[in-house]
Structures are given as structure tokens and as C-alpha cells.
A and B are shown apart, each in its own frame.
Chain A
């Protein structure tokens, strides 16, 4: 008899398992048409183009129907996306979430933010939990190719740098043979560090740290000689670090950061891309959030076209999309000054091409 009891118990448990898994299936398949149109089977290569266009339109439509944009951000990185004391989000990445929401919904506040870790960020976008990922993620070929993502544009050009104690005597990374370097686990920086030292023909030992608090503990107690991360991150680290530290001149990698969307969302991809370009173009035209209304119907043909786009056929719901974006977040310079400026990071190439930088918005024509 005991055996029977056991079997029955097992049967009940397995039934629960089955029901649970079946429910899981149902949930996703129910949710698919609403939230995640891009998950439709697109196996047949001949159908891919058609499906992708349908899907793209559906994503924009899904955002409009839903009434808000699902935006994946870091949430803990001062200057890029940070949660304020009152629970609101600020930062350069956040402003681009707001810009996309403004363009599509005419309401920059219609954004639901999801804080993502380095591990979950790409999966969240792939699985359709978020519409767009603006989480200081570096645009690389393998992320673009293997992960099924596309980077729409670059909103901040960064590069890995090295921070050392000012009295360490290191003038450049080439002096640092045989040292121990603190680096955050699971980042592109880790690989760039390896490549840079390898090219210089010198050796080092990595000390993998989980987060900035751990860096502070290890670095201040002398467990590592240098700390490597993006220069913007080093600047904010230096600002809060209690000690005399120097950021070496070496730029050890290219780290273009910007918004990424799912592959197969061509229309939505265009929307995100041109939202970013709009902030560049506005700065070039001298349009700010304060004076954008004055420029509508301008005598300058290019500006008039930019602010009342009747021809491009981009999937924005209205022709005044640029006006919506600029009145919500302003031009690139405004966004930069508001978020990155206070950190004291040198602008470097993050300026318009007209001012010596490399930001360049294609014309609206």
C-alpha cells in the first residue's frame, strides 16, 4: 500500500508540473500577438522581409495601444540612468527613452522603466519584455550579429581608461607590466583590457570585481594597482573616491553606447534612430527646447522640413515628431549639459562635427 501512496503523490506532483508548464506555454502564446509580434515564426527566409515590416509596424502600434513605452535602463549609473530620491529617472539614456515616448505618444512621461543588470539586458530585449534597450551597452559586431539586436545610433562615444593612484609613478599603461588590475566582471572592458595589454606585450593579473563598491574596497586597500572601466565611469568614480587618483591618457577601446532594438523591427528601429538624429540636427540648426515653437514654419527650408516632415515616410505617427522630441528633451547639447555636464567628463568627440566632434545627423530631406 505504501508504494501506491508514493505513486499517487508523484502523479499529483507531475500533474502540477505539467499544468504549470502548459500554463507557461499558454501565457506566452496569448501574450505573443499583443506584446511580442516579432516572435511570429519567421523561419522561411522569403517571408522574413514581409514579416519584419509587419512586425515593425505592430511594435509601434503596440506601444500606442499600450499607451506607454517599455524602456530598459541601468538605473544605477549617474549621468546615464539613475533613480532619484523621489523615484523618478534621470540621465542621458533616460532622456532618449523620453524622446522616443514623446515622438510616438506626445508624452515624454509615458515610459515604464525596467532596471536591467548586465546579465539580463539582452535577454530582456530579445524576449520582448522591453521595446528598446538604452542601458549604456556597447555596440559590438558579435552583439549585433549573434544576439539578434540592432544598435540604432550612438549617443555617447566612450572608451576604456585606466585609473591609478597619483603617487604610483605610472605615466601610461605601458609602464604597468606585471601589475594587478581591477576590472568589472562580465563586461567588454575585460576583453579590451586583455587585448590592449597583449598588444603592448606586457602582462597583468586581473582582479574581477562585482561592482563599484567592491572596486573601492579593493583599490583603496592596495589589492590592485589600477582600475579599468569606461572613462565616463572613471570620471564619476574619481569624483566620489576619497584619495588622490589619476586617469591615464590611454584610451584602451572604443565603446560606442546607444539604444538597441530587436532585429526585425525595421520601422521601430527607424523611429529610434531618427529620434537620436533629431537631437543632433536640432543642435546644428540651433533649435532648443525653449525656442522650438518659434522655428515651426521657418523660412529656412531645411528647418521647416525638419519640423514638419510630410515626405520622409518614417513610421512616426505625426509629421511634427521632431517638435515633440525637442520640446520634450531638447537638443543633444541640452541633454548632455543636463546629465553628463555635472560629472565633469571632458566632451571629447561627443560634440557636433561642426565643433570638432563626430556627432553627425543625416539630413531630413
Chain B
């Protein structure tokens, strides 16, 4: 009897193969081993096959001359392949940076419209969503660029130059812009002065808000202060901030000076934004409907206006639900930007196509392309996760 009891009560170590901690570690090692082996086999397979076919296996081609010209960049034919990739990368980034805010703003508006009490507003929202969501985005890109932009913008020979400073044509939309080469330092300095003004005004408005209870309206006042500070600095320094007007070149074929916005860029960004907005709208609608009805009713009970109800009660709570699905829409807009190949916008996939056709090892060129998209996607995920953590409910 006594022996048996001792055995039960003495905490003896279980054998290794039954120790749950050891098993867990073993399992983790096994998983890592399996994944590692799989990756190694894929890599080895590729390298062996490349070598057998007498193809180069390295990334030396990045230093070769690209030899093709990139629209909007002078001397771009002398670029290295690496630099060509980089300019394509920046062009993709331009689409994302403008496209994401655009599709979010439009999507929120359409999403709220779909929940309106007004039949007409609701119908417009529904038609928008169904129209854009149910037609492939490639077609929207074609329609926006080939049909709307190319055919409706005036030709350069029509000589449409409002105020003699703008050029509107289907070869480019020229707007007057600061010449960054001539006065970059001044430009940056003035922006700095403007930002200081914004901060100052915001501090003042917050104090007013705390003392008198008036709404602070920091954004509005800040914007005005920014413009005023910029204007004062500009005139005080004797018109230091010169800009270049955009004009049609002497031979009447190209746009010179200022900033030239490339029509395929406009077409792509608008089409992607419009399309993605339809998905965003559905996410917004779903997230708002997921908020307890009582929240909206309580807001109405304390006499908040519709705008205030959304701005202060519903949207802040809805955003918490929205962020993960929104992030995946942002990833979609990034990946869909590769469809620009169809309409002459030279982004990173287009660069890849041209690089890989000029006797560059296709596999390596493709790996670099994949890596570039990975940095965009991981960047967006990182930012989304940051907001997700900040906005998530503290639950216990």
C-alpha cells in the first residue's frame, strides 16, 4: 500500500517521448525542417535546371544598361536595370499613395449612402456598388483610359491652355509647379515655416477649446494658417518661391515646364480607385451595420446631427471592425496596379516585361518583381496592424 501511494504522490519526470514540452519543441523543429527542406528543394531545382540549360543564375544583370527609355525621365536609356526597376517601383508607389485615400474616401461616402433613409440616395449607392463590383477591373481601366481620357481630353493641337499656365491634352495634363531643382531648399524651408504655423495655431485653438468650449476646428484653422504663412514668407523674401508655368513646346508636340501628369496614370488611378471604392463601400456598410443599433439611437436621443452621429459615434466604432478587410482591399489596389501594362503606364510590372525581354534571365527578373510587390504588401500590412492594435478594444 505505502509503496503505491508513494508512486502516485512523488512527482517523477515522465519519459522524454511523453513530455509535452519536449514534444512541442520536437514538433516545431520538424515543421521548420520540413519547410526548410521544401524551400531548399525548390531553390536547388531552379538552380540545377538553369545551369543545365546554360542560363545565368546570378543577379549580375542588375548592373547592365537598361537600354530602353522610360517616359518622363531624361536619359533613362542610360539607366542601369536596377535604376529602371526603381523608377518603376516609384511609379507603382504613386498609384498606391493617391489611390488608397481616394478609394477610402469614396468608399466611405458610398457605404453611408447605401444606409441612407432617402430612397434616391440609397439607389445611387446600390447602383454604383453593383456596377463597379461586377465588372472586371481591367475593363474599367480600358474604359477610363481608352474611352474617357484619350477621346475626351483635347488633342495637343487644339491648344487648350487655360490662363496660359495650364495645358490640358491627352498627351499630358500640365500644371504650374515649383521648380525643385532651382529652389529646393527654399521650398523645403517654406514648408517648414508653414508647418510651424500649423502647430502654433493648433495649440492656440486647443486652449480656446478648453477655456470657452468652442469647437477647436484645428484642421481648418491649420490649413488657413499654412497658406497664410506660406504667402507671407513668399512675399517677405521677395517672391522667392518661383514656379514654372506649363506650356506647349515650340514644335507643338510635347508639354514643357511645370508638372506633367501622364494621362495613363490618371486613367489607372481613377479606375482602380472607383473599382476598389465599390468593395470598400460594402465593407463600410457591413461594419456600420455591425455596430449595435442602440448606439445610433442614443446619438439621436441626445440630438446629434446626422454628421455628428457618424463622425463621433458610429464611424469610430465601425473603423475598428473595418481595418482588417480594408487592408486586404489596399493590397488588392496594389496588386491590381500591375494591370497598368495594358494602358501604357510604366510601373514595375511593365519594367519587368521590358527587362525580361532583352536577354535578361526571366526567373531572376521575376523574383525581383515579386520581392518589390512583397515590400508594398508587407508595408501596408504593417501599417494596418499598427492601427488595428491601436484601435482594438481593451478586453480582458
Residues on A close to B: CB < 8 A?
7, 10-11, 14-15, 17-18, 21-22, 24-25, 28, 38-43, 118-119, 122-123, 126-127, 140, 142-143, 145-148, 177-180, 185-188, 190-191, 193-194, 198, 204-210, 214, 217-218, 221-223, 225, 262-264
Contact = CB atoms under 8 A, between A and B. Distances in A.
Contact of A185 (B37, B151, B350): B350
Interface in B124-176: 146, 150-151, 155-157, 170-171
A123 B53 CA distance: 10
Identify the interface centre among B55, B146, B358, B362: most chain A CB within 10 Å of its CB: B358
Contacts of A180: 171, 253-254
Given A178-B251, A217-B146, 17 more contacts: A7-B31, A11-B34, A14-B31, A17-B35, A21-B38, A24-B45, A39-B53, A126-B55, A140-B359, A142-B359, A146-B359, A185-B350, A186-B356, A210-B343, A221-B155, A223-B150, A225-B253
B150 A218 contact: yes
B357 A186 contact: yes
B157 to A, nearest CB: 7
Contacts, number: 147
Interface stretch (B65-73, B272-280, B319-327, B388-396): B65-73
Contact of A222 (B170, B341, B358, B361): B170
A48 to B, nearest CB: 9
29 contacts: A7-B27, A11-B30, A18-B37, A22-B41, A28-B49, A43-B51, A118-B357, A119-B353, A119-B356, A119-B357, A142-B358, A146-B56, A180-B254, A185-B341, A186-B353, A186-B354, A188-B358, A194-B77, A205-B69, A208-B344, A209-B344, A210-B343, A214-B344, A218-B150, A218-B344, A221-B151, A222-B157, A225-B253, A264-B54
A39 B263 CA distance: 47
Contacts of A214: 146, 342-344
Interface in B41-55: 41-42, 45, 48-49, 51-55
B346 interface: yes
B249 interface: yes
Please classify how large the interface on chain B is, using the bins under 10, 10 to 19, 20 to 34, 35 or more.
35 or more
Interface of B: 27-28, 30-31, 34-35, 37-38, 41-42, 45, 48-49, 51-56, 67-72, 77, 146, 150-151, 155-157, 170-171, 249-251, 253-254, 263, 341-344, 346, 350, 353-354, 356-362
Given A43-B51, A191-B68, A191-B358, A223 B170 contact: yes
B347 to A, nearest CB: 11
Contact of B170 (A10, A191, A221): A221
Given A14-B31, A218-B344, A205 B254 contact: yes
A15 B34 contact: yes
A127 B155 contact: no
A194 B68 contact: yes
- Residue of B41, B49, B156, B171 ringed by the most chain A CB atoms within 10 A: B171
Contacts of A204: 69
Max count, chain A CB within 10 A of own CB: residue among B53, B77, B171, B249: B53
Contacts of A206: 68-71
Contacts of B358: 142, 186, 188, 191
A220 B55 CA distance: 42
Contacts of B346: 208
Nearest to A18: B38
A283 B364 CA distance: 45
Contacts of B53: 38-39, 126-127, 148, 262
Nearest to A24: B45
A38 B155 CA distance: 55
A7 B49 CA distance: 34
Nearest to A216: B146
Contacts of A118: 357
A337 to B, nearest CB: 32
Nearest to A263: B54
B31 A11 contact: yes
A223 B343 contact: no
B21 to A, nearest CB: 13
A148 B263 CA distance: 40
A205 B71 contact: yes
A180 B346 CA distance: 15
B151 A210 contact: no
A148 B52 CA distance: 10
